Structures are given as structure tokens and as C-alpha cells.
Structure 1
Amino acid sequence: MNFQPHADDTPMPVVDLAIVEANLKRMQAYCDQHGLKLRPHIKTHKMPGLAKWQMELGAVGITCQKLGEAEIMIDAGITDILISYPLIGPVKAARLAALARKATLAVVADSTLAIDTAAEAAEAADAPISVFIEFESGGRRAGVGSPSEALELAKRISGAPGLIFGGLMTYPLGPEAAALIAAAQSLFAAEGLAIPTISAGGTPRAFHAHEVPGVTELRVGTYIYNDRNTVGQGAATLDDCALHIEATVVSRPTADRAIIDAGSKTLSSDLTPGGAARGYGLMRDYPEAVIAKLNEEHGIVDLSACARRPEIGETVRIIPNHVCVVVNLHDEILMTRPGAPDVLMPVDARGRSR
């Protein structure tokens, strides 16, 4: 077997920085080629050092999902941030105001209450805050449902002291997005209201963003590491997956069953969308194996289809189904690069769910 483990102890997430660099440069080159601003989402890696690397390569700023992530990034010196999540209420307004005194901030809204929260923060900070209107384009989660709703909210933003209308934002960049963008552009133009930025997100469709007229900014996160989901959706190959989990086979109760020391607290309980692939991750060196069940600390592996099977004590590497969740489960990640010493790095913004 050619695989040489990096981790002295397991389970451990391990990142190949050479693959990370290739992934970052590929996405930046795509955006540069098509005149798109790249604003990467840091929810995948949660590390200021990687965020700064993305910006050094040409990203215009970063995207955070929660205020807690933005607080970590601003403390590390990153000062151009979009928080792509509706913030509601006075507690969020106070925290947003504290950040607006230190950085250039944008937030999103799909309600008058979210706009009022941003306005309260801008007044308290005595600093402008940009507000994007989120519209729903197939994900069936947050976002207004029509261009007319977006227009009414945009007018409210434009009339609010301290707020700047930043543009429109959506996720995912699916088939519905193009029609909604075109309709919104027509409606806003008729009202004489410019749309400064149209921001779209999602790694699986990232390399098709230029095919949607009107999109000017791309928000992507998973592309930095990739995972089994992005591979299954054709957005990456296994060789583009920069992060894997190193786990140890701790038991072989039967010939067809192995137990690894990576359970739901290591791999998460996420499956691939629509059951496209079986199990809770791909064992890279035993692709016929199925991680069939997870307890908190146990991974139960079905080896019945394997011609070659791992032994007790063997270290195996696993490509996660959904890498963003996996990263958030770990305090540290082992960073590797061929020819350089391995370095254990903290995941600074992990657990920042508020």
C-alpha cells in the first residue's frame, strides 16, 4: 500500500496544502477570466490564514455565515466581509455595530426587520453598512420569492440612514436564478434603481456562473478542500480533495466488518444528496468498503464487497461526504505539503454558530 499516514494519533483531519493551492488558483483564474469578483466563503475552512491566502490570490473579500465567524476574521485583520445570513434583533445589532467600527461590512436581508436591525447597527456604529437582498432560487430556504418583493426592500434600504443598497444575493445558482435575475434587472431599471452587485453562491455550479447573465460576484466555500459531494456532482475529482480523515481500524469482529475510531463526532452524520453514494465517507484505499453506520465514536464498516481488507491497527484515509461540517467538528487540522514539515493548525472559528 502506497499510503503513508501523517497523523501520529487518530482520528485526525489532514490537509494537503499543495492541493489547496491548486484549488484556490483554479477558482481565482476562472473568476478572473470571466470578470467575476470572488468572495470566498470561509465556513468551510474557518481559518484566518487561509482566508488571507485567498485574498492574496485575488479575492475581493470574504463571506462569513455568522457574526462569530466575522469577529474571528476581523480580529485577524480581514476588513472586507459579507455576512450572508439575516441578522435579527437588538443583540445582533449591537454585535454588528461593534464590527462595523472596524471593517467594511455587508449583510443580507429578506425582511423589513432584518433591514431595521442593520440600520440600528449602522446608527450605533456611525458607519455605513451595505445590505443585500437575498432572493430564493431553488434552495427553499431564506430569500424573497419575487423581484417585486426585492424592489420594495431595496427602496427601504436606499431610504434608510446609514445603509447602502449592495445588490442582490442568492444560493444556489440553479436554473431558477437566471430567470429571477433577468426579471429583477428589468424591474429595477424601470424604477431607476441600480443593482451594484449580483452575488451567487455554491461550489457545485461555480464553474457555470458565467453562463448566468447578470452575475457579478461568486461566493464559494467547499472548493478549497472539496469533498465526496462535490466529486459526485461533477465539480471536482478525488484528486482535488485536499482534506481527508485519518482513522485507525480498532476492531475486526468478523471478516466482513471493521470498526474505525471515527464516528459521528468525526465524520458527521451527513449523507450524500439523494443517496448518490453509500455510507458516511469514502475510504480512499478501499473504495468498495462502505462506512455503513456511525455511533458517536465508532464507524462500522461493511467490507463484504472488498477483495482486499484493512487489518486491525491499520490507518485508513477517508474523504468526507460534507467537509464543511467535518471541519467544524475539530479543534485542529494537520497541514501537510510535500517536502515540508507537517504543522498542526487551530480551526479558529469552529463552533461559532451565533
Structure 2
Amino acid sequence: MFDRLMSAKLTQLATPCLVVDSQLVLRNLEALQQYAQQHDLHVRPHAKTHKSLRIAREQLRLGSQGLSVAKVGEAEVLSQSCDDILVAYPAVDSQRCERISNLAKRINIRVAVDSRESVDMLAGVTKAHGTTVGILIDQDVGFHRTGMSSPEAVVELATYVVEQREGVRFDGIFFYPGHVTVPAGEQPDLLRQIDAQLQETIERCREKDIDVSIVSGGSTPSMFQSHHITSQSEIRPGTYVFNDMNTVRGGFCSIDQCAAVVIATVVSTAVAGKAVVDAGTKALASDRNWIVPDSGFGHVIEYPEAKIVRLSEEHGEIDFSKCSSRPGIGERVAIIPNHICPCLNLHDSFLWLDDTGQVERTPVDCRGMLQ
């Protein structure tokens, strides 16, 4: 990978710029599809990571059942290429529900919810439009961000959805195992505990003659261990398409599976032991590594002992005191961000490095879509 990226660096591209290695993206996508096929799982990748029609089309071409999104704006754009989308985020306001209902006129769309208020708002709008939206009820399995806190609460809300009869359709359960960030070998017991919670919910639904056709969960750290949640029917990883230093330092991928880097240029070496590049928070994002918070703001490929010690809006300050050599003014370096999702959202476009080593500017189609 890095040899290919080095050739891209030498084409006099304006920096900072985000370069995506198409070969590595496709390898990452294929690896997940093969795993899912082996374990009879559907893949519904979370497009909040790439926000790209181009990459969404590759995911669908390789076998993804549909897409997950965070916001309705992403669904509206990606519906150009996908007719089966899950909005993995509660919809509680009339404006958002109106847009979801409009999408339901031409695609199969579902929404993850955890309140009667959301069900009521969606049902009211969809009934008025004569459309139907699928509902997945969010069950909190340990991350404690959103979701119903018990199987009983999920069943109660599922019953409420079923009783609506018009505008909304109960399709199943949504969950997010975001708290499972231990190494893969330590995950099975935690995932089996999640499975027990979900199975109890499913059984309680069956007792009330409520069919649970979808159990949707997953994240990049646990995606290759998803088979330990036997009740799960589909997985929704997002970061896996590119990977980043969070997934590397967590042991969930190797560094040569990172498909996206920010190319930056050294603009100053005036301070002893340090160099400054033209990539700051507006190019790299400001996230610290959630596995090793003191590791800096990304990884410099050419100088692995270097540490990005401080970011301001347009400056990245790199400490080279532990390196045997240091870059000069004008030298370019490739940086793997800590967290690729917000990093990509900062860029209007990325450079798609193809099989021949050529780069093509590709828009970030859903950039900035927060609604």
C-alpha cells in the first residue's frame, strides 16, 4: 500500500489532501463479505464513514444488502444508488419525518427508534402521505447511549408499533455493541452476553405473536466476531472500509489495511526537534486515539517514531526528537488519522488511487449532512 501512496505523493498534488487506495478498500470490503457469507449474515455497512456514492456502489456490488446512515440527508443522496436504507438514528422532529416519508415513496426505508414519541411522529406523517416506514427498536445492550433498557421495554414498544397498523411496520431489533472494544480473543463472552439479552427479547416478542424478522447490530471492532451473537441477522460496520489508527491500536486490523491517508507538506522546521505540516484540525480532525490517548493525533508513515503533538486549525506540529532523521522544508508525509470518519467529513473530495497508480478526484457526496 505505502509504495502506491508514495507514488501518489510525487504527482505535485496540492496539500493537504486525502488519498484513498482503491485496492485496499476493495480488499477490506471483500473480507467482510466473505466472513458474512460464511456465517449467514447480511451486511448493511454504515455509510457515515465514507459518505460516498462511489464506495456505496462498490459495497452493494460486492453483496451488501443495503446501507445504514446516520442522517436523512445521507439517505437522500445515497438513495440514488440504494433502495434499501436504514436510518440508524432516532427521528423525532416533523421536518426529518417528512423527508423520511418522502423517501418511503420510492425506496424501502427503516428507522431505529427508542421512544413512543418517535413512533407517533413517524406514524402521523406517513399516514398523511400514504407511505409506510419500517421500525427497528433500539435495545441498549451495554453502550448506554440510546436504546430501551430492558427486553420488557422493547416488547412494549414493539406492541405499540404493531397496534399503530398504518404508516409504520415493526421489522425487528436494532443494537450497537460499542462497548465491546477489547481484543478479538476476549470478545466472545461479552458478545454471548449480548446474545442472551437479544434472545430474551425475541422470545418475549414471540410470546405476543410479534415476528422479529431483523436483528441489526455490529461495529468495526467486533465485526469478525459477530457470529457469537447467534440471534443477529445483519451487521453494520462503518470504519472497516478505510480503517484508521483507532482500529490499528485496538488490534482490529494491521496498519497495512489502512486505506486512507492525509498527505501533508512540511512548511516549517524553525523550532528545534519539530516540524510543522499544513494539516491541522481542519484536515485531520482533533480526535485523540481512544485506545492510546497519548499517542498523538495520527501516525506519520515515513517516520513511525514521530509524534503529532499538537494541532491548530491549519498547523500540525510533529515531534521528531525520537527519529534518526528529520524531514526538510517542502517534504511530503503521509498521515493515517486517528478517526477517519470525522476526517473524511472535513474534505470536499478525496483522491481515488486506482489500480494503475492514477488518482481521480472523487466528491464526498454527503459531506456536512448533519440533518
- Normalised by the length of structure 2, the TM-score is 0.92
Inter-partner Cα distance in structure 2 for 1:297 and 1:187: 54
CA contact (8 A) 2:250 2:291 kept: no
Q: Superposition pairs for residues 309-328 of structure 1, below 5 Å?
A: 309-328=326-345
Q: Which amino acid aligns with 2:290?
A: P
Inter-partner Cα distance in structure 2 for 1:135 and 1:121: 24
1:134 maps onto 2:138 in alignment = yes
Q: Which residue of 1 aligns with 2:87?
A: 83
Q: Sort the Cα spacing of 1:330 and 1:180 in 2 relative to 1 into closer, same or farther, 3 A.
A: same
Query: What is the CA-CA distance between 1:340 and the residue it aligns to?
Result: 4.7
CA contact (8 A) 1:282 1:320 kept: yes
Q: Superposition pairs for residues 160-175 of structure 1, below 5 Å?
A: 160=164, 161-172=166-177, 174=180, 175=190
Q: Which residue of 2 aligns with 1:103?
A: 107
Q: Superposition pairs for residues 1-354 of structure 1, below 5 Å?
A: 3-4=6-7, 5=9, 6=11, 8-74=13-79, 76-160=80-164, 161-172=166-177, 174=180, 175=190, 176-276=193-293, 278-354=295-371
CA contact (8 A) 1:110 1:144 kept: yes
Inter-partner Cα distance in structure 1 for 2:326 and 2:106: 55
Inter-partner Cα distance in structure 1 for 2:217 and 2:353: 32
Inter-partner Cα distance in structure 1 for 2:194 and 2:285: 30
SS class of match (2:14): coil
Q: Which amino acid aligns with 2:352?
A: M
CA contact (8 A) 1:96 1:121 kept: no
Q: Which amino acid aligns with 1:138?
A: G
Query: What is the CA-CA distance between 1:100 and the residue it aligns to?
Result: 1.1
Inter-partner Cα distance in structure 2 for 1:7 and 1:111: 53
Q: Which amino acid aligns with 2:337?
A: P
The runs of 5 or more residues in structure 1 that have no matched partner are none
Inter-partner Cα distance in structure 1 for 2:211 and 2:82: 28
Residue deviations 1:252-304 (CA, integer Å, cap 9, x gap): 02331110100001111101114355101000111111101110000111111
Inter-partner Cα distance in structure 2 for 1:185 and 1:94: 30
Residue deviations 1:58-115 (CA, integer Å, cap 9, x gap): 11110011001011112x2321100000001211221111111121100011000111
SS class of match (1:86): coil
CA contact (8 A) 1:157 1:164 kept: yes
CA contact (8 A) 1:107 1:131 kept: yes
Q: Which amino acid aligns with 1:177?
A: I
Q: Sort the Cα spacing of 1:340 and 1:291 in 2 relative to 1 into closer, same or farther, 3 A.
A: closer
Query: What is the CA-CA distance between 1:7 and the residue it aligns to?
Result: 5.6
Tell me whether 157-166 or 245-254 shows the greater mean CA deviation.
157-166
CA RMSD between the two structures: 1.5
Inter-partner Cα distance in structure 2 for 1:226 and 1:124: 42
SS class of match (2:26): helix
Residue deviations 1:110-168 (CA, integer Å, cap 9, x gap): 00011112212321331221000011122221111101000011011111112111111
Query: What is the CA-CA distance between 1:333 and the residue it aligns to?
Result: 0.2
Inter-partner Cα distance in structure 2 for 1:151 and 1:123: 23
Q: Sort the Cα spacing of 1:340 and 1:124 in 2 relative to 1 into closer, same or farther, 3 A.
A: farther
Q: Which amino acid aligns with 1:142?
A: T
Inter-partner Cα distance in structure 1 for 2:291 and 2:355: 36
SS class of match (1:234): coil
CA contact (8 A) 1:7 1:246 kept: no
Inter-partner Cα distance in structure 2 for 1:94 and 1:200: 26
Inter-partner Cα distance in structure 2 for 1:59 and 1:125: 29
After superposing on structure 2, the runs of 4+ consecutive aligned residues of structure 1 that deviate more than 4 Å are none
Tell me whether 156-165 or 116-125 shows the greater mean CA deviation.
116-125
Inter-partner Cα distance in structure 1 for 2:289 and 2:357: 34
Inter-partner Cα distance in structure 1 for 2:22 and 2:291: 31
Inter-partner Cα distance in structure 2 for 1:349 and 1:121: 25
Residue deviations 1:12-57 (CA, integer Å, cap 9, x gap): 0000000011011000111011000100111111111211111111
CA contact (8 A) 2:92 2:118 kept: yes
Q: Which amino acid aligns with 1:41?
A: H
Inter-partner Cα distance in structure 1 for 2:74 and 2:87: 9
Q: Sort the Cα spacing of 1:183 and 1:13 in 2 relative to 1 into closer, same or farther, 3 A.
A: same
Inter-partner Cα distance in structure 2 for 1:49 and 1:9: 22
Q: Which amino acid aligns with 2:249?
A: G
- Normalised by the length of structure 1, the TM-score is 0.96
The runs of 5 or more residues in structure 2 that have no matched partner are 181-189
Inter-partner Cα distance in structure 2 for 1:311 and 1:256: 12
Inter-partner Cα distance in structure 1 for 2:82 and 2:200: 35
SS class of match (1:116): helix
